[in-house]
Copies of this chain bind each other. A is one copy, B any other.
Amino acid sequence: MKVGVLGGGQLGRMMALAGVPLGQEFVFLDPAEDACAGVVGDLICAPYDDEAALAQLADAVDIVTYDFENVPVASARSLSDSLPVFPRYQALEVSQDRLREKTFFSDAGIPCALFASVDSYDDLVSAADEMGYPCVLKTRRMGYDGKGQRIIQDRQQVDQAWSDLGGQALILEAFVRFKRELSIIAARSTRGETVFYPLTENRHKDGILITSFAPANAGLLVERARAYAIKVLDNLDYCGVLTIEFFDVDDGLVANEMAPRVHNSGHWTIDGAVTSQFENHLRAIMGWPLGSTDPVGASAMLNWIGAMPDPSNALSYPNAHWHDYGKKPRAGRKVGHVTINAENILALQAELGKFALALGEQLKESGVEAFTRGH
């Protein structure tokens, strides 16, 4: 089966690495000539709304999916006239717009932060005063890795936030004091089968995910997260992998955002679960039985941000699973990750300590140090 993917970044690349052993071949549509998924499939290099390119993709493949959620809804919708497109484009509509997303959570009975639409300076002032401080002003669209957000600590910071972000559709959200971020990754197949991975605990630095830990020690929160995920899957008639990020707060979970795709916080599943999120996404959209989501011991996933470390240092630790996305170095860019596994959480801490030693001077940039201290 030929799979078309809108977007040819590292998620598409890892999807193809999981799909080729299933007998699939891949065609990516991406505006970047050096889209890193191109080495494991064909690459159509064009804007996402290029009609000729979309037609070329539709001709070449049997099914279409995404490697990121900010592709134009119109492109997904037009492709779905001629072939199966999963997840359905309605999931893109919801997840592309923070206001629609929060409204969707709220309507589905999933707790989320108080929010208000902000289209003018007056909207902002009145919403902030009503909501109280601190609060967070965000662009409704195209936010990722902490981009397009300003925390407003008090009334005095309102004008600066407006001057930074004003002039586009915005949302103001109450600031959530959380203990940690947890994410759930679910997969639902076209046959209606649903599976869940264990919850993952995530840590960010400068708004970018740097480390994930799984299975998170989350007790009763696991069932709650699954119940919320089922609401999203049901309400969107969803097929494929879905990710929801939650804040862990005193009285339960607060949904932060959802991604209608495989997710960075699920990269540990490649080396730390029986079946990876990438494989289950592909099985789900093809209508194949889903694979086991059981974890194999405990895993830590560390993102490489900006540039890859020297493998000859890092891999002197023999249990590391290396993932170089083949991307050019650039500040703040996710260029790869590494996964460390162990039998259980205690053993994992010890293994992470050994890995930190192998990394040596690269330690400071890696986030490993904070990670081993924190657990």
Contacts and interface: CB of A to CB of B under 8 A. Distances in A.
Interface of A: 13, 16-17, 20-23, 25-26, 39-41, 274-275, 283, 288-292, 294, 296, 308, 311-312, 315-316, 318-324, 326, 336, 341
A168 to B, nearest CB: 37
B41 A39 contact: yes
B21 A17 contact: yes
B41 A20 contact: no
Contact of A291 (B20, B291, B318): B318
Given A288-B311, A296-B296, A312-B289, A22 B319 contact: no
A13 B20 contact: yes
A332 B274 CA distance: 30
A114 to B, nearest CB: 41
Copies of this chain: 2
Contact of A318 (B13, B274, B323): B274
A318 B296 contact: no
A25 B316 CA distance: 22
A296 B274 CA distance: 11
Contacts of A17: 17, 20-21
Given A23-B324, A23-B336, A289-B311, 15 more contacts: A17-B17, A17-B21, A21-B324, A22-B322, A23-B308, A39-B41, A40-B40, A274-B318, A274-B341, A275-B318, A288-B311, A288-B312, A288-B315, A291-B320, A296-B296
30 contacts: A16-B40, A17-B17, A17-B20, A17-B21, A20-B326, A21-B321, A21-B322, A21-B323, A21-B324, A22-B311, A22-B322, A22-B324, A25-B326, A39-B40, A40-B40, A274-B318, A274-B341, A275-B318, A283-B315, A288-B311, A288-B312, A289-B311, A289-B312, A289-B315, A289-B316, A291-B315, A291-B319, A291-B320, A292-B319, A294-B319
